[in-house]
């Protein structure tokens, strides 16, 4: 039974850990209405460190306590007759360390916790297709072509379903075949908070320059949006924009000039 003696301080540490992790939020929810936030991971690490050190100091403070709690480990690692147990314990410790390391580096599809701007301010000018565009005054040249409006919308739909559908989906809900492989997830154009709040010049800049074209102050964006001006023509992008607004039933935001 001596070999089980070190399990006592370990059990105390685990009890105190779960008391913090589950007990503190529960107590907070009882004292205050609504959802109570959990203890931040960085704070939990500090608390658990001090708890572990404190518990070990208490249980190893006396000579008898030290021998009772450290003795089994010394028996395993210092006794020549304990080769098999020593090997198994070393493998288990190594596997546990590998598992902890993997938890820190494994890919995740959770949204970044950092604050970021959903619709960052565009630059005053953007260079695409070998030209420089003034984003503040840029307008969709195809929108006023009423005679060919339906044809341009149809052509924009063809471009969309050949290039954009895979991420943004057939119904533009941001859930195409590949949507769950990205963080943040592709934009939902049907949502009133996306293109309905934007001018066509903004959407033109956003599509044309993609994720790499986002300003540094808008990071961390982690956007997988391609630089579409390297794959599509200027006219194709304008047609896609016509299709986006026509399909969703939204109207582009119009920025009134200041007098």
Q: In this model, does residue 2 exceed pLDDT 60?
A: no
- The SS3 of residue 159 is helix
Long-range contacts of 75-83 (CB under 8 A, 24+ apart): 75/3
157-176: average pLDDT: 90
148-175: average pLDDT: 92
The predicted model scores a pTM of 0.55
Q: What is the pLDDT of residue 140?
A: 92
Q: Which CATH number is correct for 125-248, 1.10.760, 3.30.460, 1.10.110, 1.10.10?
A: 1.10.760
Q: In this model, does residue 163 exceed pLDDT 70?
A: yes
Q: In this model, does residue 257 exceed pLDDT 60?
A: no
Whole-number Å distance between alpha carbons of 228 and 201: 15
Q: What is the pLDDT of residue 63?
A: 83
233-258: average pLDDT: 87
Q: What is the mean pLDDT of the chain?
A: 82
Q: Is the dihedral of CA 144, 145, 150, 151 positive or negative?
A: negative
DSSP 198: S
Tokens of 98: 């590998």
Q: What confidence tens digit (pLDDT) does each residue in 6-16 have?
A: 678 888 888 98
pLDDT band at 237 (very low <50, low <70, confident <90, very high): very high
Whole-number Å distance between alpha carbons of 156 and 220: 30
Q: What confidence tens digit (pLDDT) does each residue in 17-40 have?
A: 888 888 887 877 777 665 566 677
Q: What is the pLDDT of residue 111?
A: 52
For residue 152, report the phi and psi dihedrals to the nearest 5 degrees: -70, -40
250-255: average pLDDT: 82
Domain-wise residue ranges, the chain: 2-105, 125-248
pLDDT band at 217 (very low <50, low <70, confident <90, very high): low
Whole-number Å distance between alpha carbons of 108 and 184: 11
Q: Which helix (H) or strand (E) holds 54?
A: helix 41-59
Q: What confidence tens digit (pLDDT) does each residue in 51-93 have?
A: 989 988 888 888 888 777 777 777 777 788 888 888 888 899 8
């Amino acid at each position: 039974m001596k070999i089980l003696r070190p399990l006592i301080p370990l059990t105390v540490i685990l009890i105190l850990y779960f008391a913090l992790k589950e007990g503190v939020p529960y107590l907070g929810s009882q004292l205050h209405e609504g959802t109570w936030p959990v203890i931040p991971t960085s704070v939990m690490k500090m608390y658990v460190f001090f708890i572990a050190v404190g518990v070990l100091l208490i249980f190893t403070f006396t000579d008898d306590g030290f021998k009772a709690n450290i003795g089994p480990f010394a028996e395993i690692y210092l006794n020549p007759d304990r080769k098999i147990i020593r090997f198994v314990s070393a493998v288990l410790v190594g596997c546990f360390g590998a598992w902890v390391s993997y938890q820190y580096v494994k890919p995740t599809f959770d949204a970044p916790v950092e604050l970021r701007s959903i619709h960052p301010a565009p630059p005053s000018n953007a260079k695409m297709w070998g030209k420089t565009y003034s984003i503040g005054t840029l307008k969709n040249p195809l929108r006023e072509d009423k005679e060919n409006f339906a044809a341009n919308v149809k052509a924009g739909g063809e471009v969309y379903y050949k290039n954009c559908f895979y991420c943004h989906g057939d119904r533009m809900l941001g859930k195409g075949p590949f949507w769950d492989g990205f963080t943040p997830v592709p934009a939902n154009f049907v949502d009133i908070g996306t293109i309905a709040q934007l001018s066509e010049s903004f959407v033109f800049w956003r599509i044309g320059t993609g994720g790499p074209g986002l300003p540094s102050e808008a990071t961390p964006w982690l956007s997988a949006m391609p630089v579409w001006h390297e794959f599509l023509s200027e006219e194709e992008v304008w047609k896609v924009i016509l299709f986006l607004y026509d399909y969703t039933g939204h109207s582009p935001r119009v920025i009134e000039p200041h007098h």
